């Protein structure tokens, strides 16, 4: 199957040779080809160039031609942090917060993550699969082409493995590219309330070895935070994960900077996520690392906590990725377009920085940089075709408006022609 997209107003994020990520000042540069064409063959970017240099069509058979006059084409969003597999909802907690309770107060009363864990324990794999499938369809229509999904609402060996099996099934069957993360260290289940060490032992001696043996995840995550997992706990858990081939990607600095960044860097974390509060030591630790900082502005919006200081991070020469954190408690939205608008409006990131953060850097933060995140020959043809807009900045400017005309996943329409070829 061949597709030609012609008359593209501007092709964005073009790298003939793609770097793995962009940092600091380089994030301001969004390489583009004006008045461009792009050819897709079997779901892969086959070639591209300026319309004036277009070689013409030698073989019209089985060729679909898309006219993108007035429209931009760019790589699909790479959402490197979600908790999309969950049961039920937490609308009650949302209303409680309107009445004045904080996210942390709700959690300390046994709500929050434990609320979702209880619902998940009672849900079948089929129910979890169906509801997550719908969420994936929704984010795909909003321009996401690759997504990371965490476990972490199981909090028992049985339920964590159940979540990871659902993620595996989604990854095998859904058109989106999916990466799995084991987040057993998300909260302490009720029965371990008075004995945290026993739960950590269970994680290290039972859950992690099982996840590793069954190859159900690529990454290991820990919620390193006061009242959750300490820096010392995080150290032990990450070490155990690494032994089983799981690469760390952690929740750090959401409410307090307690040293989670440095311990994650020590274990060569691929990313450190949240960072709503950040210390000078955290910046120094990140400077000497290959770890991607990830900001989740949808979470800041929804639970009214500070936004990650993007300027401080980027101006220190570091990279930054943006992701949704889609989950039922702190961020019930998987809309990367809203995330991108918030990054401009609340975090003072430029539109170019935002597009790089949500494409190439997001791909890096889930180890998909060789296949996603840029317009490069040989990468997956997972592309956003915008509506007719004035400039790329309009994507963030007109927040709440859907500026996306069409999403191609591996050259297809997301399902049907877009069914994911086997790897």
Q: Which residues bind Fe ion (CB under 5 A)?
A: 325
HSE of 271, CA atoms in CB hemisphere, 13 A: 32
Q: Which is nearer to ligand NIG, 151 or 371 (CB)?
A: 151
CB of 299 to ligand NIG, least distance (A): 5
- Which of ligand NIG, Fe ion, none is residue 260 near (CB under 5 to 8 Å by kind)? none
Smallest gap from Cβ 331 to ligand NIG, in A, equals 6
Judge contact between 168 and 180, C-beta under 8 A. yes
Which stretches of the chain bind ligand NIG, using CB under 6 A? 112-113, 116, 223, 251, 254, 299, 325, 327-330
Please say which residue, 160 or 325, places its beta carbon nearer to Fe ion: 325
Residue closer to ligand NIG, measured from CB, 116 or 356: 116
Question: Considering CB distances under 5 to 8 angstroms, the limit depending on partner class, which of ligand NIG, Fe ion, none binds residue 223?
Answer: ligand NIG
Cβ closer to ligand NIG: 12 or 167?
A: 167
Specify the residue, 71 or 81, whose C-beta has the smaller distance to Fe ion: 81
CB of 93 to ligand NIG, least distance (A): 8
* Shortest distance, position 22 Cβ to Fe ion, whole Å: 23
Q: Which residue is nearest to ligand NIG (CB)?
A: 329
Question: By C-beta, is 87 or 381 nearer to Fe ion?
Answer: 87
Q: How far apart are CA 185 and CA 32, in angstroms?
A: 42
Q: Least distance from C-beta 92 to ligand NIG, angstroms?
A: 13
In the complex, minimum distance from the CB of residue 411 to ligand NIG, in angstroms, rounded to a whole number: 33
Q: Name the residue whose CB lies closest to Fe ion.
A: 325
For every residue of the chain, which 3-state class applies, written as one string? CEEEEEEEEEEECECCCCCCCCEHHHHHCCCEEEEEEEEEECCEEEEEEEHHHCCCCCCCCCEEEEECCCEEEEECEEECCCCCCCCCCCHHHHHHHHCCCCHHHHHHCCCCHHHHHHHHHCCCHHHHHHHHHHHHHHHHHCCEEEEEEECCCCCCHHHHHHHHHHHHHHHHHCCCEEEEEEEEECCCCHHHCCCHHHHHHHHHHHHHHHHHHCCCCCEEEEEECCCCECHHHHHHHHHHHHHCCCEEEEEECCCCCCCHHHHHHHCCCCEEEECCCCCHHHHHHHHCCCCEEEECHHHHHHHCCCCCCHHHHHHCCCECEECCCCECCCECCCCHHHHHHHHHHHHCCCHHHHHHHHCHHHHHCCCCCCCCCCECCCCECCEEEEEECCCCCHHHHCCCCCCEEEEEECCECCCHHHCCCCC
The two structure tokens encoding residue 29 = 């540069």
Q: Are 107 and 113 in contact (CB under 8 A)?
A: yes
Q: Which does 116 bind (CB under 5 to 8 A by kind): ligand NIG, Fe ion, none?
A: ligand NIG
Residue 418: which of ligand NIG, Fe ion, none does it interact with, CB under 5 to 8 A by kind?
none
Q: How far is the CB of 306 from ligand NIG (least distance, A)?
A: 14
Provide the token pair at 33: 């080809």
- Residues facing residue 251 across a β-bridge: 223, 273
Q: Tell me how far, at minimum, the Cβ of 254 lies from ligand NIG, in Å.
A: 5
Our CB check for ligand NIG shows the closer of 217 and 385 to be 217
Which partner, Fe ion, ligand NIG, none, binds residue 254 by CB below 5 to 8 Å per kind?
ligand NIG
Distance in Å, CB of 165 to ligand NIG, minimum: 20
Give whichever of 271 and 386 is closer to Fe ion, judged by the CB atom.
Answer: 271
- Nearer to ligand NIG by Cβ, of 156 and 374: the residue is 156
Q: How far is the CB of 384 from Fe ion (least distance, A)?
A: 24
Q: Give the whole-angstrom CA distance, residue 109 versus residue 232.
A: 25
Q: Which two tokens stand for residue 55?
A: 């070689």
For ligand NIG, give the closer residue by CB, 148 or 325: 325
Bridge partners of 384, per DSSP, are: 74, 407
């Amino acid at each position: 199957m061949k597709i030609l997209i012609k008359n593209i107003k501007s092709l964005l994020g073009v790298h003939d040779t793609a770097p793995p990520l962009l940092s600091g000042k380089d994030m301001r540069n969004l390489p583009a080809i004006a008045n461009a064409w792009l050819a897709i063959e079997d779901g892969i970017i086959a070639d591209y160039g300026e319309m004036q240099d277009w070689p013409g069509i030698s073989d019209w058979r089985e060729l679909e031609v898309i006219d993108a006059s007035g429209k931009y084409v760019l790589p699909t969003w790479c959402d490197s942090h979600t908790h999309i597999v969950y049961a039920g909802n937490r609308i009650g907690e949302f209303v409680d917060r309107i009445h004045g309770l904080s996210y942390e107060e709700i959690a300390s009363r046994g709500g929050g993550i434990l609320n979702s864990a209880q619902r998940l324990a009672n849900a079948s794999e089929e129910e979890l699969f169906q509801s997550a499938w719908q969420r994936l369809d929704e984010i795909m229509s909003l321009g996401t082409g690759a997504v990371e999904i965490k476990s972490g609402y199981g909090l028992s060996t049985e339920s964590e493995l159940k979540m990871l099996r659902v993620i595996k099934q989604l990854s095998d069957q859904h058109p989106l590219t999916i990466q799995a993360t084991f987040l057993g260290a998300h909260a302490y289940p009720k029965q371990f309330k008075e004995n945290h060490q026993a739960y950590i032992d269970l994680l290290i001696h039972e859950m992690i070895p099982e996840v590793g043996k069954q190859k159900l995840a690529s990454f290991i995550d820990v919620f390193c935070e006061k009242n959750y997992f300490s820096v010392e706990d995080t150290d032990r858990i990450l070490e155990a994960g690494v032994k089983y081939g799981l690469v760390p990607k952690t929740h750090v600095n959401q409410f307090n900077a307690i040293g989670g960044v440095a311990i994650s860097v020590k274990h060569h974390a691929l990313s450190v996520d949240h960072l709503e509060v950040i210390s000078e030591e955290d910046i120094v630790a990140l400077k000497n690392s290959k770890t991607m900082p990830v900001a989740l502005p949808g979470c800041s919006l929804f639970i009214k906590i500070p936004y990650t200081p993007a300027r401080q991070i980027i101006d220190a020469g570091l990279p930054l990725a943006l992701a949704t954190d889609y989950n039922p408690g702190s961020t019930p939205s998987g809309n990367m377009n809203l995330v991108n608008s918030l990054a401009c409006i609340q975090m003072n990131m430029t539109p170019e920085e935002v597009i790089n953060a949500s494409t190439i850097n997001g791909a890096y933060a889930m180890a998909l940089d060789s296949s996603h995140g840029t317009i490069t020959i040989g990468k997956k043809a997972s592309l956003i075709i915008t509506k007719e807009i004035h400039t790329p900045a309009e994507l963030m400017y007109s927040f709440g408006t859907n500026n996306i005309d069409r999403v191609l996943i591996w050259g297809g329409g997301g399902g049907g022609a877009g069914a994911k070829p086997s790897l």
